[in-house]
Chain A
Amino acid sequence: MTQTHPGPAIEAVGLKKSFGDVHALRGVDLTAEAGTVLGVLGPNGAGKTTVVRILTTLLAPDAGTARVAGIDVVKDPGPLRSKIGLAGQYAAVDENLTGAENLTMFGRLYGDKRPAAKKRAADLLERFRLEAAGDRLVRTYSGGMRRRLDLASALVTEPPVLFLDEPTTGLDPRSRLDLWETIEELVVGGTTVLLTTQYLDEADRLADDIAVIDQGQVIARGTADELKGKVGGDRLDVTFAEVAQAEAAVEPLGAIASETPSVHGTTVRVVLAERQGVVTRAVHALDAKGLEAEDLEIRRPTLDDVFLTLTGRSAVAAESETDGDDVSDDQDRSEVAA
């Protein structure tokens, strides 16, 4: 589990990759010290998965170099594969095998003999609270159970470096928390983790360092606190019945804001100077102008806020540029941001 080579556990310099005309990566640099968690944060299509695929030997970069656990990803993919684990958003386990059969198979493919692989499978099932389901076919598992098995599959050899590609995308909040706790336990054990995510709260909770990636480039890096420093404090979203009311509310709400509030359809978004008593102050300020809000919500900054601050675009808009069909009901917001 602990590292035996000098230098960072993950070090990528100038990674470039194009698929036809699409420039997935335009020169990405990343570093993760051994025993730390590097969060790679970005919207869909930013290039997160391409980074993971290159660092796990699945894809050769067009340019740039990368070393993982001290081993060159392009020159020595073979030796590297026994030092890495990969788990991802697709929960890549065989649905027509049981949990135990899956883990035993992966153990044997890492080179363990059958009895050792079976023993290891039993240990992992227990550790990931799947022992009761170990002899059931995976197609009967819930989404959370599949992700846990997927993560367990990446750990059959206790690799020193672990890659988690959007490990909680599509999970319900309870399973998500559950998986976060499991990942935290791993990190305590000394594993280096590269985690990609679309969620700021996930990177905030799990990552020591965060690299924000957009359109194939790292646009910001730092600790969660440093990033949040750039993004500003908590948000207050005030929603009105009509756009005109929202526009009229910008001025009175400015009193509690650290920067000029922005209007997104019928909602005014306020970056708070401080959190204490803001709801009361907001209601008073609006009352004084005869404005009545339909809804007030205090929330933590999201990836969307990070994006607005760093790129002037909303993450939702960034996503629709690449996916086209993935425009959500946040349409009005993206228009304002664009």
Chain B
Amino acid sequence: MSRLVGDTLVMAERNLIRLPRQPDMLLGFTVQPIMFVLLFAYVFGGAIKVEGDYVDFLMPGIIVQSIAFGGFVTALGLCEDLNKGLIDRFRSLPTARAAVLAGRAIADLVTNGLSLVILVVTGVIIGFDFRTGLLEVVAGFGLLLLFGFTSSWVFALIGMNASTPEAANGIGFTLIFPLTFISSAFVPSESLPDVLRFIADVNPITHVVGAVRHFWLGAPAGDFVWASLVWTVVLLGIFVPLSIAKYRKVASK
């Protein structure tokens, strides 16, 4: 077990030192979320009717979307490692089996943390306001990081199944993008047509967004908080074993 922790930290460190050396990857979780915030707040903001201020409504939604995509670095990185033969080398070492994947997920936690700070600062500049106590605000951040950790394991599986980083990008985008839009992230789910509304109401994104709105804005908790915790546990329970099983068998392309 201590071997797993040590090896995971070595892998996480590796993923983090190489990140600033790929400026194009950095743009993905720094500039891109800011762009989304500004586009939504000022382009759609006037047209979408919500109770209260749209910026307040929007920020939890856009942050959850950004965190849901946070695992992209993992998918692209794993796919690249596979194509370059690095995974073969890692697998030939007496290294804990889960360390390569767990190291990715831990590194994503750090980059997600960075994205979160950038997004919240941007939000505050354009008028977002926390309406709850420190404890609730922190709980919101904790839930977001946990959700990001889950997303990393989903993307790990995508990355190992894609033939190229471009394919990983395509698969990830096609899966996650609709999921973030057919939810209450950007519009109230009541405003959606029946079928989409049904999808939105069971969508984990809706639950996480609802929970964050509860923690940060004092919106009613409803089922959101416990449902988002159940979702993360269920998703981790599915994707951690699947990803590790895939890693044990995966062959360099």
Contact = CB atoms under 8 A, between A and B. Distances in A.
| Chain B residues touching A, range | 20 to 34
A172 to B, nearest CB: 21
A57 interface: yes
Interface string A153-169: 10000000000000000
Interface residues of A, number: 29
Contacts of A109: 7, 10-11, 90, 93-95, 99
Contact of A82 (B14, B22, B94, B251): B94
B89 A97 contact: no
Contact of B14 (A53, A95, A105): A105
A94 B89 CA distance: 11
Contacts of A97: 14, 17-18
B91 interface: yes
A93 B89 CA distance: 9
A164 B213 CA distance: 56
Contacts of B94: 78-79, 81-82, 109-111
A326 to B, nearest CB: 17
A86 B86 contact: no
B22 to A, nearest CB: 6
A88 interface: yes
B170 interface: no
A57 B95 CA distance: 13
Contact of A59 (B6, B14, B99, B251): B251
Interface in B7-23: 7, 10-11, 13-14, 17-18, 21-22
B84 A92 contact: yes
Contacts of A153: 89
B251 A94 contact: no
B166 interface: no
Contacts of A108: 6-7, 10
B222 interface: no
Contacts of B6: 108
B92 interface: yes
Interface string A261-305: 000000000000000000000000000000000000000000000
B92 A57 contact: yes
Contacts of B127: none
Chain B: interface secondary structure?
helix
Contact of A93 (B3, B13, B86, B92): B86
Contact of A56 (B11, B92, B99, B252): B92
A105 B15 CA distance: 11
B85 interface: yes
A51 to B, nearest CB: 14
B88 interface: yes
Contacts of B10: 105, 108-109
Contact of B252 (A90, A93, A95): A90
Interface in A103-121: 105-106, 108-111
Contact of B92 (A79, A84, A101): A84
Contacts of A79: 94
Interface string B204-223: 00000000000000000000
A58 B86 contact: no
Contacts of A78: 94
Query: Which of A82, A101, A108 counts the most B-chain CB atoms under 10 A from its CB?
Result: A108
B21 A137 contact: yes
Contacts of B93: 81, 106, 109-110
A112 to B, nearest CB: 10
Contacts of B89: 86, 92, 106, 153
A2 interface: no
A96 interface: yes
Contacts of B3: 111
A290 B214 CA distance: 99
Nearest to B19: A96
Given A58-B88, A97-B14, A97-B18, 6 more contacts: A53-B251, A90-B85, A95-B84, A108-B10, A109-B11, A109-B93
26 contacts: A53-B88, A56-B92, A58-B92, A81-B92, A82-B94, A84-B92, A86-B88, A88-B85, A88-B88, A90-B252, A92-B84, A92-B88, A96-B21, A97-B17, A97-B18, A105-B14, A106-B89, A108-B10, A109-B7, A109-B10, A109-B90, A109-B93, A109-B94, A109-B99, A110-B95, A153-B89
